[in-house]
């Protein structure tokens, strides 16, 4: 008698392929044709709503789910749009509307920011997740599930 394949739950290490599509079918992100994604459930790598969508799946399972902004990447918040002095950026750095730049928070975390507007004095940066406010389709194929190890 063979053991049942492990199912995804808290603390599991998971290897998967995924695709995220926008409402109009535009591909926003995907591992297709590349390396699978590896994560530990609960480590913050995957949005909580996306994690919950794969709970209970096992290796070999495929799933396609529509996920709203509340469960996916949240809604855009005005408080996450900041105007910074142009002097906070390197003088030789070319800034343009639509660019995504990596910023380091005071806590040392890396976060992306989208440039909304630039003039000689100021740069307006949106720190909302680029998929905030979107209903997405989350297609996933589970390749491997490893239960949490006891310490």
* Domain coverage including residue 102: 78-126
Q: Which of 53, 13, 59 is nearest to 37 (CA)?
A: 13
The token pair that represents 15 in the structure block: 């290897």
Where residue 22 sits, what CATH number does that domain have?
3.10.50.40
Is 135 found in the same domain as 69?
A: yes
Is 107 found in the same domain as 56?
A: no
- Which sign does the torsion angle of CA 126, 132, 137, 143 carry? positive
Rounded Cα gap, residues 106 and 10, in angstroms: 29
Q: Domain count for the chain, please give it.
A: 2
Helix or strand holding residue 138 (H, E): strand 136-146
pLDDT in tens, 24-56: 999 999 998 999 999 999 998 888 888 999 999
pLDDT in tens, 115-145: 999 999 999 999 998 899 999 999 999 999 9
């Amino acid at each position: 008698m063979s053991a049942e394949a492990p199912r995804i739950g808290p603390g599991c290490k998971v290897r998967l392929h995924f695709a995220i599509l926008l409402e109009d079918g535009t591909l926003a992100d995907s591992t297709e044709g590349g390396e699978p994604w590896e994560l530990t459930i609960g480590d913050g790598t995957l949005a909580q709503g996306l994690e919950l969508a794969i709970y209970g799946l096992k290796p070999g399972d495929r799933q396609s789910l529509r996920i709203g902004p509340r469960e996916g990447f949240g809604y855009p918040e005005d408080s996450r749009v900041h105007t910074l002095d142009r002097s906070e950026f390197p003088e030789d750095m070319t800034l343009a509307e639509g660019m995504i730049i990596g910023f380091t928070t005071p806590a040392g975390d890396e976060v992306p920011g989208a440039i909304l507007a630039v003039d000689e004095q100021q740069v307006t940066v949106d720190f909302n997740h680029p998929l905030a406010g979107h209903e997405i389709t989350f297609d996933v194929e589970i390749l491997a599930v490893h239960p949490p190890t006891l310490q």
